[in-house]
Amino acid sequence: MDRAQKEKVVEELGQIFESSGVVVVAHYTGLTVAEMQSLRAKANEAGSAVRVAKNRLAKIALEGKPCESMAEFLTGMTVLTYSEDPVAAAKVAEDFAKENKKFEILGGAMGENALDRAGVEAVSKMPSRDELIAQIASCIGAPASNIAGAIGAPASNIASILSTIEERGEAA
């Protein structure tokens, strides 16, 4: 890799560290190509991504970034799993680590906060952005449907009373 390529990689990694809601660092020693492809596919489905980069270049990219404290995890053969959603990458990494013992989560960062192994696990158990939006929408929607039912109920009651009066009038 020449100097220009290294500078490009550092710039790309810097963008990842700045724009990601969460970054998870893991060792992947012993994983096969097929297993790495499986990880990438699962990450892609969840709206996250996987990146293998030289630790030295990643540490350079981390300089001055809010998540600079996660540089301590960049030792050995590491892989980065990241996403804009603050939960997606952590969920993908946790699920993959359960299936593959060779994939060892070291820690990561969520914004300015460094996460240890337990922190990544805790983040992975949180509801994702889409799940939170669905929960909020259902909370907002339930009272609205109740109000619509309450407003509509008197009108239907009046209509049934009028039809009853009309039927009695015709019968008499």
Strand 22-27 and strand 104-110: pairing? antiparallel
**pLDDT greater than 70 at residue 172:** no
Residue-averaged pLDDT of the chain: 84
pTM for the full predicted model: 0.71
How much is the pLDDT for 169?
76
Give the confidence band of 95 by pLDDT, cuts at 50, 70, 90.
very high
**How far apart (Å, rounded) are the C-alpha atoms in residues 140 and 147?**
11
Q: Is the dihedral of CA 35, 12, 26, 92 positive or negative?
A: negative
Other CB atoms within 10 Å distance of the CB of residue 8: 12
Average pLDDT over residues 158-164: 70
**Mean pLDDT along residues 52-70:** 88
